[in-house]
Amino acid sequence: MNDSLVAARVDRLPNTRMHRAWMVLFAIPLFFDSCDINTFASAAPALIRHWHIAINEIALITSASFIGMFFGATLGGLLSDRMGRRRSLVVFVLISSVGSLASAIVPSVGYLFAARVVTGFGISAGMVTVMTYIAELFPARSRGTWQSWAMVINLCAIPLTNLVARLLVPYGENGWRWVFVWGALGIVFPLLVRRLPESPRWSARAGRYDEADAALNAMEARAVAEGHVLDAPEVAARPPEVREPWGTMFNPVYRRRTLTLCAIWLLQTLGFYGFEAWVPTLLVHHGITIARSLTYFTLINVGAPLGALLAVYPADRFERKHLIAVVALLIAVFGLLYGLSFTPILIVTFGFAVGMLTQTFATLLYSYTPEQFPTGVRNSATGLTYGAGRIANVANAFVIAAIYTNLGYVTVFMYIAGAWLLTALITLLFGPRTTGRSLETLNPAVDGARDEAGSIGKLADYPHR
């Protein structure tokens, strides 16, 4: 048993009911993490009215989530590479749920800031872990499609959370607190997590080959029980690899990938959360009532799960970097048109297009990021690049508040469109190709050795199952 054989055995598996059952389990942390991310945007207009706080204080609380997300993505990724995918995911879901419950009972801005930091840590660490977990558990030829379905589930939470907020926030001065209770319901996940296997790739890299073999035997038995005949695993002929240290992502082989993904995540976060976190507040400041603002926001975000559905078909049929660039460019166009619109029908129409396409983009990027790093640092590197965008958004909250205060409503959306345009350019110019390739063959450190060794060969003595 070695890393190459583990990878080959995972990648040869057909799609089965087992994979669909895993996706149902992943749905729980994904759904409620997305609820938590979107709760404060819906609660903010009520806080302005009932706590009499200024827009700069809204920016401060908004930034709190992103401070937590930065540390969650970077430290959470590191912890997951040390603790394992399954155990760390349980810890992160509990942290985000407790933070969201704390947000529901806080008495002041300072306590709410602290609670949102904790929530952000758990959300970000959990999201990064799920991204990596799916990339490692599902076969190479279909992992983009499965990541897309994961995002469909994740993004159904956005319009539902907006709807919950629309019903609860206007209902008295404490109605906003129940939105955070809604975000904490993912606390049920630890009760079901035993039905998920640990990632065999992680077990092998941790030297736990017996555990990896046992998990793979169970997966193969499930596939055979459904009537599938498994070919012998195709194992890449390449030199043995040592366990990669954390700094691997900055060595000459991976540095460009790391910096490119940091830039993509940073810019898309400025564009995405510049829109999602501020639309209800900006609409209220623009003279629209809280109830109507939340209604518009709910209608806009009905497009979120549809955006993820748009990514399902092309995710494994076209090169992901090209899809990412095209979608980013479309978001820039529709985002600018949204900022120039002042009638309800145009606000909702262009807002719907932005809300839908940003989730198409996110779905593709969630597949694209973990594909680019070796198993030993996959979660750490994914977390670092994901976290780069989150820490940038700490400052972004104050930048948008300043742009709006000094330059006006339309300028905010010009700024957001510019972030998306730069995202498209950087992806096209510097992003590597990944679609349909095994995670192991995407390792540029061994490509040359693999090519010299004859690329791929079958293990003739490995039994068909």
Answer positive or negative: Cα dihedral of 19, 24, 25, 28: positive
Residue with tokens 């029908």: 345
Token pair 């596939």 in the structure block, residue: 223
339 or 450: which carries more pLDDT confidence? Answer: 339
Q: What is the pLDDT of residues 81-92, one digit of tens each?
A: 888 889 999 999
> Bridge-partner residues for 457, per DSSP?
235
- pLDDT tens digits for 208-259? 888 989 999 998 898 888 888 777 776 655 555 555 666 677 777 788 888 8
**Mean pLDDT, rounded, for 419-447:** 71
Amino acid at 25: L
The 8-class DSSP code of residue 222 comes to H
* CA dist., res. 237 & res. 222, Å (int): 28
How far is Cα 137 from Cα 223, in angstroms, rounded to an integer? 14
CB neighbour list of residue 242: distance below 8 Å, 6 or more residues apart: none
pLDDT band at 99 (very low <50, low <70, confident <90, very high): very high
CA distances in angstroms from 50 to 14, 45, 54, 183, 213, listed in the order given: 55, 9, 11, 21, 58
Instruction: Note the pLDDT tens digit of each residue in 267-311.
Output: 988 887 777 666 666 666 666 666 666 677 777 777 777 887 787
- Global confidence as pTM: 0.68
Residue-level pLDDT at 454? 32
Q: Which residues, in sequence order, are CB contacts of 166 under 8 Å at separation 6+?
A: 42, 291, 294, 295, 298
Q: What is the DSSP string of 290-305?
A: HHHHHHHHHHHHTHHH
The answer on pLDDT for 130 being more than 80 is: yes
Q: Which of 19, 313, 280 is nearest to 145 (CA)?
A: 313
Domain ranges of the chain: 3-207+227-235+251-458
pLDDT of residue 451: 32
Q: Would residue 197 be called left, alpha or beta, if left means φ above 0 and alpha means ψ between -120 and 50 degrees? A: beta
Q: What is the dihedral of CA 196, 200, 202, 203, to 10 degrees?
A: 100
For 188-197, what is each residue's pLDDT tens digit?
Answer: 888 888 888 9
Residue 247 neighbours by CB distance under 10 Å: 10
* DSSP one-letter code for 185: G
For residue 195 the two structure tokens come to: 């039905």
Q: What angle do CA 69, 273, 421 make, to 5 degrees?
A: 120
pLDDT in tens, 131-146: 788 888 888 778 777 8
Residue 436 pLDDT > 60, yes or no?
A: no
Strand pairing partners for 456? Answer: 236
Predicted confidence band of residue 460 (pLDDT cuts 50, 70, 90): very low
Q: In CATH, what number does 3-207+227-235+251-458 get?
A: 1.20.1250.20
Q: Report whether 416 contacts 273 (CB < 8 A).
A: no
H-run or E-run covering 235: strand 234-236
**370 or 449: whose pLDDT is higher?**
370
pLDDT at 459 exceeding the cut of 80? no
HSE-up of residue 252 (Cα within 13 Å, Cβ side): 0
Residue % of the chain over a pLDDT of 90:
11
Phi, psi dihedrals of residue 234, rounded to the nearest 5°:
-90, 115
Q: Which residue has the higher pLDDT, 377 or 206?
A: 206
Contact call for residues 132 and 80 (beta carbons, < 8 A): yes
Cβ 40 vs Cβ 115: under 8 Å: no
What is the per-residue pLDDT for 282? 64
> CA 415, 417, 423 angle in degrees (round to 5)?
110
- So what's the pLDDT on residue 333? 92
Tally the residues of the chain. Answer: 465
Q: Residue 243: what pLDDT?
A: 57
- The vertex-438 CA angle with 434 and 440, nearest 5°, equals 105
- Cβ neighbours, 10 Å, residue 145: 20
Look up residue 443 and give its two tokens: 């390792």
67 in Cβ contact with 391 (< 8 Å): yes
Residue 165 contacts residue 179 (beta carbons within 8 Å): yes
Is 50 in contact with 22 (CB distance < 8 Å)?
no
Q: What pLDDT shows up at residue 421?
A: 94
What pLDDT does 55 receive? 73
Q: How far apart are CA 42 and CA 7, in angstroms?
A: 43
